[in-house]
Structure 1
C-alpha cells in the first residue's frame, strides 16, 4: 500500500514539517553533488555507526567530521537514494502536518528528534559491533506514524494498491494503513540480515513505539486521543 493523502484537515500551517522536508531534500542534493566516493564518505562520516557509538571503534581522521554522538542527529537528514528520500518525505508530508497540529511547532521539533534518537538506539543497541552506517529520516518519521495512529485512527487515507499489472485507489482507515505498516516492519525484522545491512527495520519499530509513548507528553491537553474522523470524502 502506498499512501497518497489523508482526509484530515489541520488548523495551522505545518511549517516544521515543510522545513524538515526542505532540509532533507537540500541535504540529499548536496550529497549527490559530491559524486560517488565522496557520497559514500559522507554516509560514513555523518551516518550513525553502532560500533562508533557504543563499540569503541573510531573512524579514520579524514572521515571523523563530527563526534559519534552527533551522528545520531546528522544521520536523520541523510538519504541513500532518490527513492529512499521520496518515500520518507511522502510519509512525512501526509502524516506530519496533523501531528504538528496536535502539539505545535516547537514541541514537534523536539518530538521528532527524540523519536529519531530512539530509532537509532533501537537499531544500534542489539548489535553494537555493527559497522554499517544508519541514515535516513524513517526512524523519526516512524515516531510520527505512531503518534498519528493514536491521534487519528479513524481518519481516512487514500492509498494506491498495486495488484499485479493493475493498481487500485481506495480509502482506508489510518489504523488499517499504519497497523499494516507496523506489522510489516515486525515481519521484516524477523527476516532481516542479523549483520545489520539493508533496511533498518529495528529503527522503524523503535521510532514508532517511541512516538506512541511520547505523544501524551507532547500533545496539547485539549487534543483527544482516538479522535473520530473529522471530514469524510466519498
Structure 2
C-alpha cells in the first residue's frame, strides 16, 4: 500500500483552500448519510439530465469512508503542489473550474448518447485533473509516499510526479481498454485528466502561474510557454529565480560600447576613445568619423547572439572574453540572467557561480535571487554549508514573502548539514 503525504515542490502559500475543500467534503459526507445518499441523489451527477449544479456538488459527494479518505489524501498532496504555487484564491477558482468541466464532460455525453441510466459521485475526477496540472507544472518534483508491505516492511519513498502521473494513466487506460470504452470509474478518471491539461496549459501560457522554469515544456527544451516575460529554467528545482523581459542585443549596443538604451542623441554619440566626439554620420575632411567597434562591443554582440541561439559553449567562450576585457560590468542584468539560465539547463553549476556573483554584487532586483542561487550551489553541489549560510545571512532586506520563505528553508538545511559535519568531526575514532 502506498499513501502520499507530501512533496518537495516549493510551497509558497499555505494550503488554506485545500484544507477548506477537504473539510467541505467531509462535512457533506457526514450530513448526507455517510455514503447512503438516500434523499440526496439530486446532489450527485445523474445521467438522465443536464444539471450544472450537479457538476459541482457531485465532486463533494462520496459513497463510503474509504472513498472519501482515499480521495482526500490525494487531494491534500496535489493541493500542496498546486495551491503552493497559486495561493488559495486562484486555487479555489481552478478547483471550481475543474469540477464544472469534469462534471460537464461526464454528464452531457451520457445524457445525449445513452439511456441516461446511472450516475456518478466523488472528487476523483477533479483529483485526476489536478494530477494532470501537477505533471505539467512540476514534472520533476517528487511526491513523498509512505509504503507498507504485509505490515512487516514499511518506510518512505520519493517518486517523481511524472512517474506517478504515467503510472495512474497507464492503470486507468488499461482498465478502460480491458473493459471497453464505456462510462466507468476508470473512464471518468481519464476524462478528469483530459480536463486538467487545457487548464494547466492556459494558465501557464497566460502567466497565471509561476513554475520557475520547471514546467514540462521548459524541461523538454520547448522554451518558455508564457506570453509574459517569464524567465528560462532555474538552477535549482523549485527555487524562484529570475523574471526579466527578453533582452535585445542590438538595443544594448551603443556605438562601439555597451551602454543602456537611451535617447536618440545618445545613440548618435560616437565612442570617444581616440575620437573627436563628433556625432556619427558627420565627416571631417571627407573622411567618416565612424569609429571602429571595440573589443567589448564585439564580445557582447557574440555573447548575446550565442545566448539567443542556445549555443552554450560559444556563450561560455564569449563570457570569458568579456571578463578578459573587463567588460562584464557593462553587460545588462537581463543578459546575465539569460546566460545563467542557459547554463542551468545542463547543470553547469561551476560556470554559473561567476555570473551569479557578478549579478549578486549589483544593486538590482536580481541580486537577492542570485544570492539564493549561489547558496544552493554552495550547499548542494559544493557541500559547503558555511559559505551558504554566510551568503544567506548577507541578503539585502527587506525580502519578499517568497524569497524569505526560500531563504528560511535553505538556512535550515545549511545549519542541519553543518551540525552533521561538526558531529562527524567530534566523534572519536576507534
TM superposition score category, shorter chain reference: 0.7 to 0.9
Deviation string 1:18-73 (CA, Å, 9 cap, x unpaired) is 1100100111111236x95xx2331x2211112222xxxxxxxxxxxxxx331111
Q: Which of 139, 142, 156 in structure 1 is aligned with 2:125? A: 139
1:176-195 equivalence runs, <5 A? 176-192=163-179
Distance 2:98 2:134 in 1: 13
Relative contact order: is structure 1 or structure 2 higher (C-alpha 8 Å, sep ≥ 6)?
A: 1
For residues 134 and 201 of structure 1, do their structure 2 counterparts lie closer, same or farther at Cα, with a shift above 3 Å needed? Answer: same
* 2:198 is the counterpart of 1:218: no
> How big is the alpha-carbon RMSD for the aligned residues of Structure 1 and Structure 2?
2.8
Q: Which of 237, 262, 277 in structure 2 is aligned with 1:229? A: 237
Q: What's the secondary structure of 2:157's corresponding residue?
A: strand
For residues 165 and 19 of structure 1, do their structure 2 counterparts lie closer, same or farther at Cα, with a shift above 3 Å needed? Answer: closer
Q: What's the secondary structure of 1:121's corresponding residue?
A: helix
- TM-score, normalised on structure 1? 0.78
Q: Which of 93, 97, 102 in structure 2 is aligned with 1:114? A: 97
- Whether the 8 Å contact between 2:10 and 2:85 is mirrored in structure 1 is no
For residues 91 and 131 of structure 1, do their structure 2 counterparts lie closer, same or farther at Cα, with a shift above 3 Å needed? Answer: same
* 2:15 is the counterpart of 1:28: no
Q: Name the count of aligned residue pairs.
A: 213
Which residue of structure 2 lines up, in the alignment, with residue 11 of structure 1?
Answer: 12
Which residue of structure 1 lines up, in the alignment, with residue 48 of structure 2?
Answer: 51
For residues 24 and 83 of structure 1, do their structure 2 counterparts lie closer, same or farther at Cα, with a shift above 3 Å needed? Answer: same
Distance 1:52 1:41 in 2: 17
- Unaligned runs of 5+ residues in structure 2 are 220-235, 240-379, 381-412, 414-430
Deviation at 1:87, TM superposition (A): 0.7
Which residue of structure 2 lines up, in the alignment, with residue 127 of structure 1?
Answer: 110
For residues 160 and 51 of structure 1, do their structure 2 counterparts lie closer, same or farther at Cα, with a shift above 3 Å needed? Answer: same
Q: What's the secondary structure of 1:51's corresponding residue?
A: coil
- TM-score, normalised on structure 2? 0.45
Deviation at 1:167, TM superposition (A): 4.6
Which residue of structure 1 lines up, in the alignment, with residue 86 of structure 2?
Answer: 103
Deviation at 1:78, TM superposition (A): 0.6
For residues 9 and 222 of structure 1, do their structure 2 counterparts lie closer, same or farther at Cα, with a shift above 3 Å needed? Answer: closer
- Unaligned runs of 5+ residues in structure 1 are 54-67
For residues 167 and 212 of structure 1, do their structure 2 counterparts lie closer, same or farther at Cα, with a shift above 3 Å needed? Answer: farther
Which is worse superposed, 12-21 or 113-122?
A: 113-122
